[in-house]
Copies of this chain bind each other. A is one copy, B any other.
Amino acid sequence: MTNFFSSDFKLGILGGGQLGKMMLYDTRKYDIQTYVLDSDSDAPCKLACNYFYQGNLMDYETVYNFGKKVDVLTFEIETVNVDALLALEEEGKKVYPSAKTLSIIQNKGRQKLFYREHNIPTSEFTKFSNKAHLTEGITNNNIKIPFVWKSTQGGYDGKGVSIIRSGADLAKLPDTECIAEELIDFKNELAVIVVRNPSGEIKTYPVVEMEFHPEANQVEYVICPARIDAQVAEKALAVAKKVSEAFEHVGILAVEMFQTQDDKILVNEVAPRPHNSGHYSIEASYTNQFEQHIRAVLDLPLGATESKLGGIMVNLVGAEGYTGDVLYKNMDKIMSMKGVTPHIYGKKQTRPFRKMGHVTIVHEDINEARKIAEEVKNTIKVISK
């Protein structure tokens, strides 16, 4: 086995945001040397890595040259130059997750085709090379309104996704390659974090549930374990595992799924890295998703994925009407609640809806945790000074 600990071994991480920052808690814990590349000279990862490089993640030369410096290369964000990863792989560099997986996931059309080819349940869809073809498809009645429109490229955090309910919605769309997906009337939105290492060891975390705000239609709580039937959970775990194996994925794969009204499981989309839906694991799981990702990409044995306690995550996003130097109002109040752990990502400036941090609530009884989570949500406010 390679000697990773307090050694000359070098792990490279593309992207230096909050996901990388949380990953660095665990590289520090294991004293694994890290190199980080990010475009922002003030990235959250800057402090706890061994070497920080500022550069454009979409630039071939920058990513290629950075990759040459390290022994294993991973990423914490998908928008990186895949050609550079391919070139590095061809030269024998270990890149996990693989360039091929990333290139499929980066394009929502290819991602959907991949599910279809691998017999992975997903909603019906049609791919269009531009807006004219999409409009033609609707005129010909091949596509029926309402449907979900997704740009095949560049979508992130809800961007590049629209629900089309009228001709007016359609008119607003940009002219890009896109897919039109069947609109699913789901009972629950679920996610499963799967982890797999190069030796093929694979483990799943428990199914989590995204609870939506009844009016705002925004995810308010990520709840582990999901409050669903055991049979549905089994099905979701099996589907998630199948996706990871189809990709021969290495590292964390977050599989987001719909539970339909008739309890079918449909894969919505995946993220090939630690994910918001797994943040609860830092406090609630035997092995958190960041440590697990590191274990996987280094081909170390995977850690236990069971929960110590029930866990709920609440995102901390910038409040509407506030832009500027951030102030976390009522932090002391939420810190006095049992089992509440705030995570502050370290962004100095807030703006409406910017992801500034998250809060985890753990409790033996998930219903108790849910009550405390609501109290947290109603108490803390991310405003400006």
A→B interface (CB under 8 Å) = 1, 3-6, 21, 24-25, 28-31, 47-50, 286-287, 291, 295, 300-301, 303-304, 308-309, 326-328, 331-332, 335-336, 338-339, 341-348, 362, 385
Contacts and interface: CB of A to CB of B under 8 A. Distances in A.
Contact of A344 (B6, B301, B348, B385): B6
B286 A339 contact: yes
A200 B287 CA distance: 35
Nearest to A44: B31
A301 B28 contact: no
Instruction: Name which of A3, A31, A286 has the most chain B CB atoms within 10 A of its CB.
Output: A31
A369 to B, nearest CB: 12
A335 B31 contact: no
B6 A326 contact: yes
A96 to B, nearest CB: 17
Contacts of A385: 3
Given A5-B328, A301-B335, A28 B30 contact: no
A301 B332 contact: yes
B295 A335 contact: yes
Interface residues of chain A: helix, strand, loop or mixed (majority): loop
User: What 5 A-B pairs have minimum CB-CB distances, sorted nearest first?
Assistant: A301-B336, A31-B346, A48-B48, A31-B344, A308-B308
A25 B332 CA distance: 19
Nearest to A334: B301
B344 A5 contact: yes
Nearest to A349: B6
Given A50-B47, A347-B6, A362-B286, A342 B30 contact: yes
Instruction: Name which of A1, A47, A339 has the most chain B CB atoms within 10 A of its CB.
Output: A47
A303 to B, nearest CB: 7
A208 to B, nearest CB: 18
B286 A343 contact: no
B30 A344 contact: yes
A304 B338 contact: yes
Contacts of A47: 28, 47-50
A42 B24 CA distance: 18
Nearest to A309: B308
A328 to B, nearest CB: 5
Given A47-B48, A327-B3, A328-B5, A29 B344 contact: yes
A286 to B, nearest CB: 6
A343 B287 CA distance: 13
